[in-house]
Structure 1
Amino acid sequence: MIFDRYRFNEQVAMELGEKILLAIVALIATWLIARAAKWAFAKLVDAVDFFKRGTGSGQSLGESLGKIVSLLIWLFGLLIILNILELGGVAGPIDSLLENVVAFLPNLLWAGLIFFIGMMVARIVRDLVVTTLQTADLDKWANRGGVDSVTGNSTISRTIGTIVYVLIAIPVAIAALEQLGIDSISAPASEMLRMIFAAIPNIIAAAVLLGIGYLISRFVVQIVKEILPGLGVDRAMAESGLVTEGTTVSGIIARVAQVAIILFFAIAATRLLGFPELTAILDQLLELGGRVIFGAVVIAFGFLIANLLARLIAGDAGGSTAGTIVRWATIILFVFMGLQFTGIGGMIPANALTILIAGVAVAGALAFGLGGRDWAARKLEQMDSDLGGTAAPTPKPKRGAAAKSTDPLPPGA
């Protein structure tokens, strides 16, 4: 029979049974150690307040890390079981994987330790800064200066504490990434964090500049609103009719000055941040705003002079034709001057003014030439007779003479 070719080897059976027994014992030990490590690691991590947070799977951070530790223990246990059973071909890839994990594990632990200690230090420093600033009543003094109305944040001390926390956390993150030793991951991430860390001082300086500019602008607004009404500027402008009812010149000047100051500090802030395009745009806005403001001042001054000239010419009679003509002529002249100062439209205001003056001159010349030619002829004959020394005979008008149909104008024109 076929079974007669095989013989029972007691020694081989004993060795195989011993290996199976040891493998079962290793399997049970691996299961117990993995369960215990998972439970202990989860409890240990969840006991720290810093790590009390959830994950994407819905488990806590401690439970997730405990599961990772448990799976690593299972890998080691399976490797031991395969070595016991002398299955080297199957154990080779697992052994290589575990060698890489074991080689990387110290760097991972050191990186985690650096990050953990750094975050703890950052939190302590943040709480220390916030407590110190709140003790010094920084929030109250900042809110008096108008910080809460600008930023909408009434607790500026907490914002400063968060900034300090970030300033500490970024170098700690860079050190932790460098400790991992994975250049393909740590090098780009570290470079990005270094760029952020290098930009933070410029961002803080820009924010401080904008804050100083806003405080200065508020101070200037308050001074202008106190000085100009005291000098009678608002009353004089209201009487001249240049501003509408309910509007004050001091308020307009104060707001314009505030916008100009903030825009100036915004340009300085963009230069600190290194945004040349934005800086150029703000420079152009500031230049254009200055020209527009100066042009508006010229036009307003023209309205004032026009009203004064109209009153001087009209006198006590009130409104008169001559005063109205002078008033509107002055207004038109200063309006075109103001538009020329603003630079809006290029040469269009100057050309339009030239065309307008030429049109008025031609219209006046035509009106005088056609309507006063008889008067001009008499004046020319009188001048000729004065120069010749003899009196020119004065023609007697014919009575009852009817106007000819060929005359260009009616009689008496």
Structure 2
Amino acid sequence: METIDLALESLRMLLSEAAAFLPRVLLAVAIAIAGWLLAKAARFTVVKALRSINFHVMTERARIDAFLQMGGSTADTTALLGTLVYWLVIVAALIMACNSLDLSYVSELLSRIALFVPRVILAVVILAGGAYFAYFIDGSVTIYGRNVGFDEAPLLGRLARYAVMLFVVLIALEQLGIAGDIIRESFLIILAGIVLALALAFGLGGRQWAANLLERWWPQQKKREPGND
């Protein structure tokens, strides 16, 4: 008889704990469902807003979308940003749901993810804007070089574009917190190596090219001098 009473007491305690825990489970489920609906609305709003300001046109001209397609992605940069915002809202809803269930370890892990997603979004925006600016610099330098009669204007434009892109990638990686000091030092080393290589190439093998360039440029300057009018 005493054994039965102990079993019934244990069962009553279990049922009481389950009854106290069930509303928290229902609340967590409700939070997760509400977060899912809010995430879908946020993704739709972000994608609609970005397309309304022609953000997809900028990323297409910057060839960011083509780069994503080369990697096997069927979505463009605008859809990628919408997906990131979607998962940011989902993670935030899961954090609230886990807090309602007192799952502190899971909440802490999700909080770290939630803090990292905005940095990814910012890095993507920096890459998109920087790539567009790099191609703009390329075109501007090329057009200006051709207008002044510089034959190597396309090469100079590409070099300017690569320099800007390298700097933009450095900023994006620093936003992600990926070995900022190492990447910064590597960038300086690579830049110094490129400058040294160009200096050696110009000094050893480009003397004739420099002479021809000066011959083309110097008469034009002489014609522009007031004393030669």
Does 1:303 find its partner at 2:131?
yes
Give runs of aligned pairs for residues 113-192 of structure 1, distance below 5 A.
182-192=4-14
Task: Single out whichever of 364-373 and 233-242 deviates more from structure 2.
Answer: 364-373
Return the alpha-carbon distance in structure 1 between the equivalents of residues 132 and 142 of structure 2: 16
TM-score normalised according to structure 1 size = 0.43
Matches within 5 A, 1:320-339: 320-339=154-173
Residues 297 and 364 from structure 1, CA distance in 2 versus in 1: closer, same or farther, beyond 3 angstroms? same
Kept in 1: contact 2:61–2:132 (CA 8 A): no
Residue of structure 2 in register with 1:393 after alignment: none
Residue aligning to 1:356: 190
- Runs of 5+ in structure 2 lacking a partner? 147-151, 211-229
**1:231 aligned to 2:53?**
yes
SS for the counterpart of 1:274 is coil
Shift of 1:214: 1.0
Structure 1 residues 223 and 319 mapped into 2: Cα distance closer, same or farther (>3 Å)?
A: farther
Structure 1: 5+ residue stretches without partners: 1-103, 105-179, 376-413
Letter in 2 for 1:184: L
The alignment status of 1:291 with 2:125, answered yes or no, reads no
- Cα distance, 1:230 vs structure 2: 2.8
- Aligned-partner Cα distance in 2 for 1:240–1:285: 29
- Measure, in 2, the Cα distance between the counterparts of 1:335 and 1:251: 21
> Which whole-Å CA distance do the structure 2 matches of 1:311 and 1:214 have between them?
44
Among 133, 157, 178, the residue aligned to 1:344: 178
Q: State the Cα distance separating 1:308 from its structure 2 match.
A: 0.7
Letter in 2 for 1:207: V
Deviation at 1:263, TM superposition (A): 0.8
What is the number of equivalent residue pairs in this alignment?
196
Structure number, greater radius of gyration = 1
Alignment partners' CA distance in 2, 1:357 and 1:319: 20
Residues 205-243 of structure 1 deviation map (CA, whole Å, 9 limit, x = unaligned): 111111111111122222233333233222332233221
TM alignment of 1:8-407, pairs within 5 A: 182-244=4-66, 247-315=75-143, 320-345=154-179, 347-367=181-201
CA distance in 1: counterparts of 2:123 and 2:58, whole angstroms: 20
Alignment partner of 1:360: what SS?
helix
Structure 1's 204 and 350: CA in aligned 2 closer, same or farther, altered over 3 A? same
Alpha-carbon spacing, 1:186–1:260, altered in 2? closer, same or farther (3 Å): same
Please provide the CA RMSD for this pair: 2.9
Counterpart of 1:233, as a letter, is F
Give distance in 2, aligned partners of 1:222 and 1:372.
56
- Structure possessing the higher relative contact order (Cα contacts under 8 Å, 6 or more residues apart): 2
Instruction: Provide the C-alpha distance between the structure 1 equivalents of 2:57 and 2:127, rounded to a whole number of angstroms.
Output: 19
CA distance in 1 between counterparts of 2:23 and 2:153 reads: 66
Contact 2:134 2:161 in 1 (8 A): yes
8 A Cα contact 2:91 2:110, kept in partner:
yes
- The 3 A distance-change label for structure 1 pair 358 and 183 is farther
Could you list the per-position Cα deviations for residues 250-281 of structure 1 after superposition, in whole angstroms to 9, with x for gaps in the alignment?
Answer: 32222111111111111111111111111111
> What is the distance in 1 between the residues matched to 2:49 and 2:127?
23
Secondary structure at the aligned position of 1:359 is classed as helix
Secondary structure of 1:344's match?
A: coil
Cα distance in 1, alignment partners of residues 10 and 197 from structure 2: 78
Q: Deviations over 1:98-135 (max 9, x none)?
A: xxxxxx7xxxxxxxxxxxxxxxxxxxxxxxxxxxxxxx
Tell me, yes or no, if the aligned pair for 2:84 and 2:117 is still in contact at 8 Å: no
Mark the CA change 1:195 to 1:354 in structure 2 (over 3 Å): closer, same or farther. Answer: farther
One-letter amino acid matched to 2:176: T
2:59–2:128 CA contact under 8 A, matched in 1: no
Structure 2 counterpart of 1:321, which letter? L
Query: Could you report, residue by residue, the CA deviation over 1:393-413 in whole angstroms, capped at 9, with x for unpaired residues?
Result: xxxxxxxxxxxxxxxxxxxxx
